[in-house]
Each structure stands twice: as C-alpha cells, then as structure tokens.
Amino acid sequence: MRTSKSTPDSPPPAYTSTSRSQPPPRIHVVQESTPLLYPNARYTYIPPPNTTQSHYNPLLYRPLYLRPSPTIITRGRSNKTCRYTLLALLSLSILVAVFKTSFPFPPFHPPSLALPPEKAAPVRIAIIGAGPAGVGAAWALAELQGSEVEVVVVEREERVGGRMNLGVDLRLEGKMWGGQRVEIEDVASAELFADERGVVRRRAEGVLGLVFGEDKKKEGSEEVGFFDGGGFVVRMTRPGGLMGWKEWAGLVLKYGKSFLAARNVPTGTMGLFRGMVELGGKETFEGVEEWVQKAGLRDSVEMSARERLSVNGVGDAYRKDIIESQVRRQLGQGTEEISDLALSLALWREEIGGPRPKNGIKMETVLKQLLERSGAEVRLGTSLQSMKQEHVVGKKSPVWRLGFKGRGYGSEVFDKVILTTPWGEGETEYYRRVTNTFLISEKGLKAEYFNVTNESDLPAQILPVRGSNLPEEFENIHEISHVKNIFGPDVDFGAQSVFKMYKVLSDKPLSEQTMRSLWERVRFYSVQSQRAYPLLFPRNSGFGSFKVHEGVWNTATIEHVASSVDLSWAAGENVAKLIKQDIEE
C-alpha cells in the first residue's frame, strides 16, 4: 500500500476512493435565548476544531458565529422630531390667532345633513271690491306680491269702479250704433280729476304717465236751474269761476252777503281735508278717530252743518233755495242731518263743476291700469255671498272661508280679508239708497212743464227746491241732468239719428206717469243702489276701527265721517299698511 508523505501546513491530500481518512467533526447548531443581550436574537454556536488533526489549518478553521443583526435605536432622534413638530404646531396656532384677530371673518357653519324645511304657503289676501279703496289697497300691497303673498281682487260687476260703476248698458231698438255704456263720469256728481293734488290723479300722472289738461271751455252743462214748481227761482253757472259779473250781481242783489258767505264755507275745511287724504299715504292709523284728530278735523266732524252756516252768516233764504238742493244732490241728505265736514265737501263739489273727463281720461281706465300694475289677480263678475271663520291646524290665526257666486263660483280660504263695503247685519242702516234712472229720448224735456218757451231755454241740470209748490212727482227727485247727446248714422237720412241721454236721481223708482209728463217718447233703464250715500251726521264718538274681526279689515269705516274718491283710495292704502304690520308680527 502506497502512502503519501505530507508536510506541515500543507493542504490535505486529495481524497480517493481507496483513502479512508477520518471525516471532519459534525457541526451542532445550538439556539438559545440571551435576554441580557437581546431577548429576541437567535445565534449559532460552532465548537472549535480539533487541533490535533493533521488537516487542521488555523487560517481556514475559525469559529464561525452568526451574530444577530444590529438593532437601530432611534429614541433620541424620535424625541427631537416630536419637539420640532410640537413647536411648529404651536407657532401655527399663534399665527392663526393673530391673523383672526386682525382680520375677522364671518363664522363658518358647516352644511347640515338635515333636510331643508318645507316651503311655507303664501299668505292669501282677498280684496272685496274694485273701486278706489280696493284698487288703492291692491296697489299698496304690490310690493309684497310674490312667493310670500297672494292678492285676489273680487268685483261683482264686469268692470272696475266699485259703487260708481253701475254696469248699465243702454241700447236703442233697431239701431246698430245705439249701444251706450253708462260711464263712471255719467254717474258721478262732480268732476273726478278736478283737484290737482288729488291722490288718484297724482297716481295716474306719476305711475301711468297721463297728462291732465285744463279745460276752460264754457259749455251748457255748466248751468244749473233751481226749480220750485212754478219756475226756476235762480240759475247758476258751474264752476263758480266761470260765472259772469252780471250773474254775480244778480245773486248778491237777491241774497245779499249769504251768497258770498256760502262760497267761503268749504275754504278752510277743504284744506284740512286734503291734508287728511295725504296723511293716509304717510302714516298708519288703526281707527278713524285717530286719523281725524291728526288731520285737525275733529271740530269740523263734531259741528253740524246748520251751525256752520249760521256762524258764516248764510241766511235761511239762500239755504232753502240753493244749499239744500245742492247738498241733497251730492249726499242724499239735508243740512239738518250732516256735519260741517260733509257740508264743505258737498259745496266744494258743486263749485268745481260737472263730471267732464279731462282730455278724455276716464276714471275706469285709470283704476283698471293701476290695478293691472299692482300684479293682483282680478276676478270680475264675482260677488261675495258668505264669510265663515275656520281654524286650521298649524296656523296661529284663524282663516276665512269665502263663498262666491258668479264667475269663479265656489269657496276659497284666505288668511286676510279687506272689505270695501258694509258687511253684516245692521251696517246697511247707516247708508241711504238712491235710484239711478237713465233715459234716452228723441226729444228733450218738455219745456212747458218748467214754464219756459223753448227747450233750448232749459238748463242742463235741474235741482228741485222743496216747498209747497213742488209737484208731487218731484218730491222724491234729487236731480235731472242732461248727460250727453248720442250721435249715429242712419240709412234713412230723414230718420232721427241724434238722441239725448238723461239721468234722474230719486229716492224711489220713477213711475211711468212721471216719465210721460216730462218726456214724450223715451226709453229708460233704472238701477237701485242700496248703499249710495253714507249717513254723515255730526259725531264725537263711535268713529270705528278699520279692523272689524281677526283677519278682517273694512275700508268703509272711513265713511263714518266723509266719502270721496280720494279718501277711499287713502283708506285702502292705510288698511294695506295695517295688514303689512300684521304679517310682519
């Protein structure tokens, strides 16, 4: 067997299949925990080699240790980072506080996830009547129109105008052109736009841009005759500014200073009355007494007409012949029944002249256009039949169920109601009715009935003077007026194509016998107004409040002291302001 010789520190001989040298020692891997060094570390222990072995080489055999990977401890660095972070946050907080103090911002409210509240139903307001008071109220409520307020104006007639619009249409038989509408000016007792300071006229000028010219023409309709049964005791020209000096002289010779004293009766009172109307657009009044007191008209309302005439030096002769007839035509009452304020209004209307429209501008047109500008819903041909108070769950105040008849027949619920006429039992007793009779005749009045020679000698207006000589049929008549002529073409040029239209005011309807005694061939139409004239007696109490029930106001309360187109408009505006306050509360 051949042996190999080895030298120290030489590598071991190559192994052959015949060489059976001793294998290297088996390596044991021991794992244990060493909590003092690192509790979770794992390491391997290898025992040292046997140095007695011939193949031992100290350069090759070294104890091999699998040492644990080094643990990075960042405690110091983490503390430093936290300090920097806290310092930055503190600095930022100080900066925000200083900025917020120097530059205030509105508070921010994050959006809520709650559902928005339901939209509230609009406040419904009903206005009963489309006369000056109703249109004035609708106009004043126009600024509230929209999603929160709904205004509905209800009018019994087919046209606006209130009590002044009688809804009368006259037609001549067999005449295609003969249809005649009775206008408000045909019903009115005086010129409606005569006062330049009148509130309705100013609204028409400022809002609608209308221009009212001054008509200085003297027409036959200006002459008034006072008839006592035997003839005309006196003739006067209206307006007084168109009266000639001969006429003045004749009246002074007959009645003395009473004629001049009577003309001065309305002067001071009418100035205060205009101020009262203007107050309606500036201030708000709960009741009439407060309004009258603020206008300085308390004494005029408390004083009787007879007392005023006596104080001014107006004699009984002039009062019986002239003033009584004028007042009865204007107010349907005598001087023994009315106040000084009512007397002044009546005499002032007689002074300004007949109801001719200026530049063709008519009251119905003005009221209609102003009502359209208000934005209110208008229901014509519909009358109020019933009112009933109801309580609705969820509403603080009661509502009113109104029953209607006519166009829009049915019932509806409203939160607020504005009445412009008396409503309820007993209220109509404070009004006096009148019958309006409109007649169309081919010829004028019978001249012989009035003891004149020709028809052309008759005045355009006749006022009866009550006395023992007055015919029985004239006892209930207040006025007979020639309104206008009706012209139209006719195929037969020999036929009558010009007709005369008359108006008669009376306490009762005219009998056929009365009409035949005054006219020959005549066609007529009569309509009775139940609430034509409010009773305007002197009063020192009981003026009334505009609010008559919870949720109900009445503009007609103002008629306890006076009645006019402008005052009715002012009362409508005043009630509208009261409702605005009620809604805001």
The identity of residue 365, as a single letter, is T
Residue pair 262/322 in contact by the 8 Å Cβ criterion: yes
Q: Could you report the per-residue pLDDT of 312-367, keeping only the tens digit for each? A: 999 999 999 999 999 999 999 999 999 999 999 999 999 887 656 556 788 999 99
* Range name among 177-186, 321-330, 574-583 with the lowest pLDDT average: 177-186
Backbone dihedral angles phi then psi of residue 523, each to the nearest 5 degrees: -115, 140
If you average pLDDT over residues 522-542, what whole number do you get? Answer: 89
- The answer to whether position 95 is within a domain reads no
Highest mean pLDDT, choosing among 38-42, 220-224, 416-420: 416-420
- What single DSSP character describes residue 321? I
* Range name among 8-22, 46-60, 226-240, 448-462 with the lowest pLDDT average: 8-22
Highest mean pLDDT, choosing among 135-149, 168-182, 289-303: 289-303
List, in order, residues 6 or more apart from 427 with CB less than 8 Å away: none
- The answer to whether position 265 is within a domain reads yes
In 153-171, which positions are buried (b, 16+ CB within 10 angstroms) versus exposed (e)? bbbbbebbbbbbbbebebe
- What single DSSP character describes residue 312? H
The identity of residue 527, as a single letter, is V
Residue appearing with tokens 């409210």: 109
- What single DSSP character describes residue 553? E
Report the DSSP beta bridge partners of residue 554: 419
Separation of alpha carbons 150 and 120, rounded Å:
13
Strands 223-227 and 232-237: antiparallel
Closest CA to 459 of 251, 230, 239, 221: 221
Separation of alpha carbons 510 and 526, rounded Å:
9
- The answer to whether position 319 is within a domain reads yes
Closest CA to 51 of 85, 115, 8, 113: 8
Q: 55-63 — which CB contacts under 8 Å span 24+ positions?
A: 55/12, 55/21, 57/9, 57/11
pLDDT of residue 418: 98
Task: Record the pTM.
Answer: 0.76
Peptide bond connecting 8 to the previous residue in cis, omega within 30 degrees of 0: no
CB neighbours of residue 334 within 10 Å: 15
pLDDT of residue 90: 78
Highest mean pLDDT, choosing among 104-113, 219-228, 284-293: 284-293
List, in order, residues 6 or more apart from 66 with CB less than 8 Å away: 42, 43, 44
Domain containing 321 equals 245-352
What is the count of structural domains for the chain?
Answer: 1
Residue 295 parent element (H or E) = helix 288-295
Task: Place 220 in a pLDDT band, splitting at 50, 70 and 90.
Answer: very low
- The answer to whether position 122 is within a domain reads no
- The answer to whether position 450 is within a domain reads no
Percent helix, strand, coil in the chain (nearest 5)?
35, 20, 45
Q: Across the chain, what does the average pLDDT equal?
A: 81
Q: Could you report the per-residue pLDDT of 256-304, keeping only the tens digit for each? A: 999 999 999 999 999 999 999 999 989 999 999 999 999 999 999 999 9
- The answer to whether position 285 is within a domain reads yes
What value, to the nearest 5°, has the Cα angle with vertex 498 and ends 490 and 506? Answer: 135
- The answer to whether position 117 is within a domain reads no
Residue appearing with tokens 């206005």: 127
Separation of alpha carbons 199 and 209, rounded Å:
14
**Of 352 and 424, which is predicted with more confidence?**
352
- What single DSSP character describes residue 21? P
- The answer to whether position 381 is within a domain reads no
Separation of alpha carbons 251 and 259, rounded Å:
7
